[in-house]
A and B are shown apart, each in its own frame.
Chain A
Amino acid sequence: EVQLVESGGGLVQPGGSLRLSCAASGFTFSTYAMTWVRQAPGKGLEWVSSISDSGDNTYYTDSVKGRFTISRDISKNTLFVQMNSLRAEDTAVYYCAKFSTTVTTPVELWGQGTLVTVSS
């Protein structure tokens, strides 16, 4: 079964850090671009970051540039996002998702999400 399972969410204070993980299974992880998308409570979808199949190319939305780092470990079939200097406005459910192939193709598979709450 093709599956994405996120972990690592939780409550963190403003200015703190968190690393989210996404375990991929059921497909050849190394041949697909991947992405993180978030959804603040009661709001719409917001793209956060993407990474190419090789990991050589990364992309970020302006509001997280310099604070978030996307990466992947092909040996462990796992996608990561390291989130530093967290702000209240980063509070959201974070979804890991898989592109059909490259970053210009549809997002064809989503994980169930992990909740990140930034609050003192």
Chain B
Amino acid sequence: SSELTQDPAVSVALGQTVRITCQGDSLRSYYASWYQQKPGQAPVLVIFGKNNRPSGIPDRFSGSSSGNTASLTITGAQAEDEADYYCDSRDSIDNRVIFGGGTKLTVL
């Protein structure tokens, strides 16, 4: 299967740690990237590769991977982290981009 599965919604208390997961067979051979999208805005890359953050992304964002599951962890979630989060991967045969369905993160 070339699909990526994410939980539709996750919530976290302010200052606590939350993990958002992404499952799919393609993750066994490709590191997921993670994108944050706030309402009315374009997505922003927050994690890529094994666990890399683009310049300007706070270090409370981290990534990990095991088998067919990739995870995005926010340690000490802030109110401004409330957003939709998408993972992506690639189809190993034809290099299609595959997106997960997205997870809506609510910071309580």
Interface string of A50-74 (1 = CB under 8 A from B): 1000000001010000000000000
Q: Is residue A21 contacting chain B, with contact meaning CB distance below 8 A?
A: no
B95 & A46 in contact (Cβ 8 Å cutoff): no
A108 & B45 in contact (Cβ 8 Å cutoff): yes
Q: A44-B102, A104-B90, A107-B33 are in contact. Are A59 and B43 (CB under 8 A)?
A: no
Point out the residues of chain A lying under 8 angstroms from B48, CB to CB. 100, 106, 108
Q: Could you tell me the distance between the alpha carbons of A47 and B88 in the complex, rounded to whole angstroms?
A: 10
Q: Which of A63-120 contact B (CB under 8 A)?
A: 95, 100, 103-104, 106-113
Q: Could you tell me the distance between the alpha carbons of A115 and B61 in the complex, rounded to whole angstroms?
A: 30
Q: A44-B86, A44-B101, A44-B102 are in contact. Are A104 and B42 (CB under 8 A)?
A: no
Q: A59-B94, A106-B33, A107-B33 are in contact. Are A46 and B99 (CB under 8 A)?
A: yes
Most chain A CB inside 10 Å of its own CB: which residue of B30, B45, B90, B102: B45
Q: A45-B43, A106-B49 are in contact. Are A59 and B95 (CB under 8 A)?
A: yes
Q: How many residues of A contact B (CB 8 A)?
A: 21
- Chain A binding surface SS class: strand
Most chain A CB inside 10 Å of its own CB: which residue of B49, B54, B95: B95
B102 & A107 in contact (Cβ 8 Å cutoff): no
12 A–B contacts from the bound complex (CB under 8 Å): A47-B98, A59-B94, A59-B96, A95-B43, A103-B90, A104-B95, A106-B33, A106-B48, A109-B45, A111-B42, A112-B42, A113-B42
